[in-house]
Amino acid sequence: MSMFRFTYQEDPAHGMERKDLSPGLASFSVVTAEPHVAKSGNESLKLQLAITDKFGTKGTVFDYLPAVLPWKVHQFLVAVNKQHLYKSTGELDPRVLVGAEGQCQLKEEENEWKGEIKKRVTVAKYIEYVSSRSATAKKEIMEDMEDPFKDEIPF
């Protein structure tokens, strides 16, 4: 049997303060993706997301993509640049999503749990994937729109 090794600290409570994720824009990576059946009986895709918020705080958020909300499934696939997986067959292999990265908007929710009101951060929406190349092209288009008379034609 192998030994479990850990880092010894004189004061193990030191550094236990956990920073909460902040609402707003965040980056994510899919850690796990697996089929799930809700208490209601509806099928969904359960995602475990490794999140980095706008302040660099890291955390984990679980999100569910219900089969009865195709717009949310599509929004997620577009966010991770895998919209080609949104097919008319209505089938998706969750294993291809592990490691996918994207951006999302986080929001803070209040839920009652065991008689107490708890705050937690959840995914409000997934943000459309934009490659760096297309972002540059969009910036150039926007700059051209600012000065419609900017041209190289001499008079």
Q: What is the CATH number of the domain that holds 41?
A: 2.40.50
Say if 79 falls within a structural domain: yes
Is 136:86 a contact under the CB 8 Å cutoff?
no
Say if 13 falls within a structural domain: no
Tell me the C-alpha distance between 124 and 147, whole Å: 36
**Residue-by-residue DSSP string for 41-88:** S-EEEEEEEEEEETTS-EEEEEEEEETT-HHHHHHHHHHTT-GGG--T
Tell me the C-alpha distance between 97 and 82, whole Å: 8
Greater confidence, 145 or 16?
16
**pLDDT at 147 (0 to 100):** 46
Inform me whether the pLDDT recorded for 36 exceeds 90.
yes
Question: Which helix (H) or strand (E) is 139 found in, with range?
Answer: helix 132-146
Q: Which range is least confidently modeled, 41-45, 76-80, 113-117? A: 113-117
Say if 97 falls within a structural domain: yes
**pLDDT at 9 (0 to 100):** 64
Say if 155 falls within a structural domain: no
Say if 151 falls within a structural domain: no
CA angle (23 as vertex; 21, 28 as ends), nearest 5: 65
Greater confidence, 29 or 139?
29
Mean per-residue pLDDT of the chain:
82
- Look at the alpha carbons of 72, 74, 75, 79 in this order and tell me if their dihedral is positive or negative: positive
Say if 154 falls within a structural domain: no
Say if 83 falls within a structural domain: yes
**pLDDT at 144 (0 to 100):** 47
**pLDDT at 20 (0 to 100):** 86
Say if 28 falls within a structural domain: yes
**pLDDT at 146 (0 to 100):** 45
Query: The domain containing residue 104 runs over which residues?
Result: 24-146
Tell me the C-alpha distance between 121 and 135, whole Å: 28
Quote the number of domains for the chain: 1
